[in-house]
Amino acid sequence: MEPRVKIYTVGQVNSLVKAAIEEQLPPRLTVRGEISDWKHHSSGHCYFLLKDKTGVLPCVMWASRFKSVKFAPEDGIAVLATGYVDVYTIGGKYQLYLDKLEPEGIGALQLAFEQMLKRLAAQGLFDEQHKKPLPQYPMRIGILTSESGAALHDITESIRHRWHCAKLLFYPVPVQGEGAAAEIAEALREVNRRNRKLRLDVLIVGRGGGSLEDLWAFNEEVLARAIFDSEIPVISAVGHEVDTTIADLVADARASTPTRAGVVAVPDMQEVLSQLAGAERRLTGQTVARLKHARQDLTIVLAGALFRNPLWLVQNGRQQLDDAQAQLAEALRAKLDSARRLLSAGYEQVVRIEPHRLLGARTVDLNNLANRAGGAISAIVNRCRMNLTARENRLEGLNPKSVLRRGYSITSSRRTGAVVKDPADVAIGDLLVTELAGENLIESEVTNKLKRQQTDNVGRDN
Amino acid sequence: MADKKQENDIGRLSFEEAIKQLTGIVARIEQGEIALQDSLEQYERGMALIKHCRTILNKAEERIEKISKEETPQDKQQQ
């Protein structure tokens, strides 16, 4: 007899396997293995195999769970995967559904930090060439930190102790927890955008100490990028001395703690003041020395012969003049002597040619010429004299005194001395002086002012 | 007139610029390469710069100003 064979459906088998798994396996288990065939689907869900020497275990991690994984899983990384095993009936396989994935050995955050470090370093974010120089004397300092933490107080006090003249501008941001990095990054971008108005010379971004988890915002890429992109130089001041964050590495300068921010960000007031005093000393010292030098130079010049005895130049000149005069006299004498010698030699020659005989003939010629010249000159003189007489006569006619000879007279007021030209020039009772020809004067008195008939004005004399 | 103008021009300098000019002046005077008259002018300018720097340093900023987030539409327009 053929035993009766029970026939199962696919669904029944899968249900039985599912039930067996549920019965046999703990509802939550952690599996050690190495990541293989890692796939991060565009939906955000992750699919991979956990493998060891004996075989593989298919794994699934939903996007909602994967969000909290800080490091970047990749093939070959040894991990501890925690979740539950279930059957994927459509695929006909059982899988580990992860809610937690951690690197084995080191902490997940540590690994994440190292991965980020490697990646951003490869992109050149930490390169020295991108570091902006800090302003030497910042006057407006922006501080990005939490409003509640001690870091704000630590940073501001560390600045005030050294450099109280700076204006501090505080921008409150959350410094830990989900989204903190993005908020700090946005704050950084915002103050950069607004810096034409804010006029910040430097920015300090930081927070006090805490666990690696607490400081995590300062290791996130979004903040690293914002620090890298900042036009305003950024100083990081995160955690304790021993903590190094990605933000520290990408910042233009790093303060190991918030209380050290002042030392990094600002100069020491006392030092700057003493530098100023030094500059003042040097400036004054040099200028005074320079003046002293110039005064000494002047003294030397004044001590010279010229200024001690101003007549020196004149006396000197006088002597030179005397010398020159003597030389001149000597030279003249020499010249005269030689001329005299030449003359006497010439005289000898002239005597030798008997000049008086030549002279006789020349005298006759000369007399003739003189007679002709004399006649010509007399003619010219006579013509000129006639011209002169004619002009004299004409000129005589214009002389007012010559008019007197023709019977006219000049009347002037005794009071004013002016010639009377108008009845208004005199008053009744004024004395008049009338001048006649031949320097004769008559004195009379004005008794009346009359006007002659219009028909005859010929006799209106002056 | 020139002094007034010089004072105004120094008054507008930032601390950094003033220190830079001052350092230049001290160096020039110490090198002694400038004429006496010039060195006196430079000396006066140097002293004015020192005074300006001290004025800036003596100004104590007591308050921390809080930067408010840009939210108002006016702020946006000004950007």
To the nearest whole Å, the CA of B1 is away from the closest chain A CA by 24
Q: Cβ A279–B23 below 8 Å, yes or no?
A: yes
Structural domain contains residue A37:
yes
Structural domain contains residue A380:
no
- What's the mean pLDDT in A348-356? 72
Q: Cβ A156–B54 below 8 Å, yes or no?
A: no
Q: Cβ A287–B40 below 8 Å, yes or no?
A: yes
Structural domain contains residue A127:
yes
- What's the mean pLDDT in A143-170? 93
* Residue A119 shares a structural domain with residue A254: yes
Structural domain contains residue A323:
no
Q: Cβ B43–A273 below 8 Å, yes or no?
A: no
d(CA A106, CA A98) in angstroms, rounded, equals 19
Q: What is the pLDDT of residue B5?
A: 59
**ipTM score of complex:** 0.79
Q: What is the DSSP secondary structure assignment for residue A130, as one 8-state letter?
A: G
* Residue A74 shares a structural domain with residue A203: no
* Residue A80 shares a structural domain with residue A168: no
With residue A169 as reference, give the H or E element that holds it.
strand A167-172
Q: What is the pLDDT of residue B3?
A: 55
* Residue A101 shares a structural domain with residue A198: no
- Picking from A105, A125, A157, the residue at the C-terminal end of a domain is A105
End-to-end CA distance of chain A: 193
To the nearest whole Å, the CA of A290 is away from the closest chain B CA by 7
| B19 touches A: beta carbon within 8 Å | yes
* Residue A60 shares a structural domain with residue A134: no
A158 pLDDT above the threshold of 80:
yes
* Residue A72 shares a structural domain with residue A139: no
**CATH number for A80:** 2.40.50.140
B54 pLDDT above the threshold of 70:
yes
- Picking from A216, A239, A267, the residue at the C-terminal end of a domain is A267
In A, minimum Cα distance to B56 occurs at A165
Total domains, chain A: 3
- pTM of the entire structure? 0.59
Q: Cβ A168–B40 below 8 Å, yes or no?
A: no
* Residue A82 shares a structural domain with residue A28: yes
* Residue A129 shares a structural domain with residue A57: no
* Minimal Cβ distance to B36: which of A136, A193, A290: A290
* Residue A166 shares a structural domain with residue A255: yes
Q: Cβ B56–A197 below 8 Å, yes or no?
A: no
* Residue A171 shares a structural domain with residue A210: yes
* Residue A15 shares a structural domain with residue A159: no
Q: Cβ A170–B67 below 8 Å, yes or no?
A: yes
To the nearest whole Å, the CA of A192 is away from the closest chain B CA by 11
To the nearest whole Å, the CA of B5 is away from the closest chain A CA by 22
- Picking from A267, A291, A321, the residue at the C-terminal end of a domain is A267
Structural domain contains residue A220:
yes
- DSSP character string of A355-377: HHHHHHHHHHHHHHHHHHHHHHH
d(CA A229, CA A251) in angstroms, rounded, equals 10
How many interchain CB pairs under 8 A, A with B? 90
**CATH number for A122:** 3.40.50.261
Structural domain contains residue A49:
yes
In which domain, by residue range, is A50 found?
A: 10-105
* Minimal Cβ distance to B16: which of A136, A171, A294: A136
- What's the mean pLDDT in A431-450? 85
* Minimal Cβ distance to A194: which of B14, B53, B70: B70
Note the pLDDT tens digit of each residue in A24-50. Answer: 999 999 999 999 999 999 999 999 999
* Residue A142 shares a structural domain with residue A248: yes
Q: Strand A167-172 relative to strand A431-436: parallel, antiparallel, unpaired? A: unpaired
Higher pLDDT, A443 or B8: A443
- Going by C-alpha positions, the residue among A94, A74, A92 that lies closest to residue A84 is A94
Note the pLDDT tens digit of each residue in B34-51. Answer: 787 888 888 899 999 999
